[in-house]
Amino acid sequence: MLPSLTFVLGGAASGKSQIAENIIINSGLTPVYLATARIWDDEIQTKVDAHRARRGPDWITINAETDIATPLAQATPDQAVLLDCATMWLTNTMLDERDLGAAQNTLLTALAACTAPLVVVSNEVGQGIVPDNALTRQFREAQGRLNIALAAQADRVLHVVAGLSRTLKGDPL
């Protein structure tokens, strides 16, 4: 049985999405994918296409670039919802110049109220070099605050490196 909220954190291309997808699949519940990526160019489209192909046709896919609360409110206990990923959601929120504090509070409230078990994927961006411009530093700080809040709210937190997960909080897989 899945906990209410599992948080999967790792670097870019660490394998976190595939681990999160497997958690959802292994639950035996109807898999729902909340996609937050905006298709900016061919490279992102190729990545999105690869993720869709890997998941296969059994997944319900909902595009949710910034509005996560609506699909979470519509989720049912017989579903398992994967939000992939909080980093793209934050990027979209920042680029839309929305109030980050209010948007984060709305997201966290929606996660807590959801009746379906959730798995949220996010990037760890605080282990690299200090960014050279203000926007990137603002993003890094906002992502760090979001990850801290998600980890605090989660029942289980996994850290993924090189396709391997380590349980940081809660019951191991």
The pLDDT tens digits of the residues spanning 75-118 come to 999 999 999 999 999 999 999 999 999 999 999 999 999 999 99
Q: Which of 14-23, 121-130, 141-150 has the lowest mean pLDDT?
A: 121-130
Write the class of the CATH domain 5-169. Answer: alpha beta
| CB within 8 Å of 105: residues ≥ 6 apart | none
Catalytic residue (choose from 9, 23, 51, 142): 51
> What integer pLDDT is reported at residue 168 of this predicted model?
98
- Does 159 participate in catalysis according to the annotation? no
pTM over 0.85? The answer is yes
Domain ranges within the chain, ordered by starting residue: 5-169
